[in-house]
Structures are given as structure tokens and as C-alpha cells.
Amino acid sequence: MLLSSLGFAMLVPACAQPGAQSSSGTSTAAGAASAAPANCTPLETRNANATGQSPAFQGQTRTCGVTSNVAFDVVVVTDALNRPWAVEPLPDGRFLVTEKPGKMRIVSASGQIGEPIAGVPDVAAGGQGGLLDVALSPTFATDRTIFWSYSEPREGGNGTAIARGVLAADGTRLTDVRVIFRVMPTYNGRQHFGSRIAFGSDGMLYSSFGDRSDTPMRPHVQRLDGHLGKVIRIRPDGSVPDDNPFVGRVDAKPEIWALGHRNPQGLAFDAQGRLWQVEHGTRGGDELNLIQKGKNYGWPLQAYGVEYSGQQPISSALGASAPSVAGMEQPTYLWDPVIAPSGLQYYTGSAFPAWRNSLFVGGLAGQRLVRVVLDGTRVVGEEHLLTDRKSRIRDVKQGPDGLLYLVTDAAQGELLKLVPKGR
């Protein structure tokens, strides 16, 4: 293994914030200065992209920065991956990695990259499409089943799909491959496919999907007759649980669990069984959301930020957006300017005790790993890590060993391991 730069949390001035794991820090993330307690100094000094928008509550953005003062080494397991999109640690110390152009591989603990795994369906690679997330079945130890999401080529366009298959003992091929879910409607586009996969303690598969980006598709997000801009909940065989919120409605897809999302690329459960999600907003509209059954998270009617063109407010066939709309859920946290969040992990390991019960978010445009400190369901601190590496972090996962593993979005993408210094 190749040892790279040493990483450690920088010491910063104290910032009183009840419930934070560390009492020191300055605030990070952009937004109105009134969003954070008066004794916090933002790490983010750039102006917000959106003007005239105020957070709905204190701490929704620019909360206190914190420092965990954790010293760690950054180990480069490999730097020879082609646009890796997801990493999934295996029980034996190896890793399943997806590459966006359409290949899935196993990487050994020492960084040896295996040949492409046979049996992966063709993908509609291009733009933001390709081979996306991968996740182990909760029963992987006994059945070696894995699940993955990808942009599926279809007549008339493409769409996100979820497939499952059995990984051979030698890791060279997939058998019994079948698609268990297809996002509808089909669309001929190249953007905002989503998606992540997470299994709940109920044994159900949850997954998140984007709005396909183009303005004419935005109204689908607020409609229940399709899956664009939704979080879904299905059984591992693709069937629909009877207690999903819209089961029995003739105007609704029964798989839908929540709606109103733009381009969610992070999904993770915490130790209490709560489901968290991060999604890409427009300029200044990145969100962390606590996903709840049947709730509407607003897009495109409720949104922070501005269009990429600079237009404000955001518009669609449904009308102009506003930061707050009655009956719609507010984001738990906002970033303006954006970090472009991709990948989400709730940390429960013992390797980094100071990080336990934090959310870790990969930052693409932000080129950093963001630690979000929680007090229950409130964000009470934020820490930026790996800023010196200038890498677009696409995914972050906790391994069985309690270490954190990341992949970077690059033509020569890296698989990184964070190890306590001196271990």
C-alpha cells in the first residue's frame, strides 16, 4: 500500500454549541450570517449564490465548525480506477467498486485490481449516466447476493434501474442477474439519474432517484405516477411492502416512500434507524434531508439557491420556487455555495471514537470530505477534511474494520483508506 499525505483536524477557536462532540471550531458552509450562533466565525468566506434568502431556522446553514483533532493517515489503496462511482467493503477485506463507464471490479486489500466482473448488464454511459451504486444484501454472508443501480439503455431513451445478482465465490462473475426495479418514465437524457441504495433494519431496500435535470421533466417530481425525484422502498425481490405510504392510490406508484428531490446521490441509515439523504441542488441549494415516510421535500416548488444561469427564483412549469412552502419539509441543513454532495455514511466504528455518530459526506465540487455532527436530528457542527488533496470525493463507506474508505471521481480514480495515525 502506498502511504499518502498525513491528515489531521486543524485546531480552531472555541464555539459554544450544545450537543456537539467537540466544543471547538468555527462555522463552515455558506449562508446568511444570522444562521449560526453569534460567536461562530464561518470558514466559508465566499458570498452566497442566492441573495435575499434566509434560513428557516438557526443552524440550518453555517453552523459552528468543529474540530475532532483526530490524526490519521491517508492510504492510497489504488490510483488506477476509471471514474469510480461507489465502493462497498467486503467481509473478507476486499472491495467491490463500480466504474461509471460500466465495469464492476474487486480490489484486493493490497490494491490489486481485478478484471471486470462478468454478468453486469450494459449501461447507458454518458454524461452523468453509467454504472452507479453497489450494495451488499443484508444476507450476503449466506447468499452472496449484491444489488446495483445503473442508467439502463431503453427504447426511446434511458432510465435508472436496480438489478441484483449472485457474486461467484471467486469474484469473477455474477449469476442469476435480474432487474428488480425500473424508474419511470423513460427519458432521453444524460443527467440526474441519482442514485444510492441503502438497506433498512426492516430488511427493505431504499433507493433515491433524480429528476433528470431538464426543465420539462421537473413537474414529474411532484407527481406520484412516476419515480423521478423520489425515494422508493421495495423488498429485495422488487415487490412492494403493503405499508408503503401510497399503496392503494390509483394515481400513485406504490414503491414511492418520499418525494420532492432534485438529484440525490447519498443515502444512509443512522444507529437509530433514521434515513438521511444528501442531494445536489442548483447553485447554492445543496441539502441534507431526514427522509420520512410519505413526506414531500419540495423540489422544484420549494428550493434554496438559484439556477445555474443565475436566475432567481427557480422556475418550472409548476411555477416559481420559494425557500419555504406550506406542507413541505425543510432541509435539515444547507450548503451555499455548494459542496456537490455525493456519498453518505453514518459512522459507528471504533477506529475513530471522536467521529462516532457523525455523518460523512463526499464533496465533488467542494473537493473535501465533510463531517456533519448531529445532536439527535439537529446539525450542530461541521468539519472539513482532506481539503489539501483537491480530490472530487464520489463515495464514502465504513468498512467492517471501522475504517473509512473513499473513491475519487477522476479518470485515474483513487480508492483511499483513512487510518488512525500510528496504527
**Distance between terminal CA atoms of the chain?**
14
220 included as an active-site residue: no
**Is residue 126 packed enough to be buried (19+ CB in 10 Å), middle (13-18) or exposed (0-12)?**
middle
Give residue for cell 444512509.
268
Single-letter residue type at 72: F
Instruction: Kindly state the DSSP code that residue 222 receives in the 8-state scheme.
Output: G
Residues 6+ apart with CB under 8 A from 99: 81, 82, 83, 84, 85, 105, 130, 131, 413
How many Cα atoms sit within 13 Å of 170 on the Cβ side? Answer: 5
DSSP state string for 292-305: -TT-B--TTTB--S
Query: How many other β-carbons are positioned within 10 Å of the β-carbon of residue 222?
Result: 19
| Longest Cα–Cα distance in the chain | 59
CA neighbor of 333 nearest in space, from 300, 301, 358, 368: 358
**Residues 192, 220, 280, 384: which is the catalytic one?**
192
Distance of CA 262 to the CA centre of its chain: 12
Give residue for cell 467491490.
96
Residues 6+ apart with CB under 8 A from 327: 296
Do 134 and 104 touch, CB atoms closer than 8 A? yes
Which cell numbers hold the place of 300?
Answer: 422544484
Do 404 and 420 touch, CB atoms closer than 8 A? no
Catalytic amino acids?
192
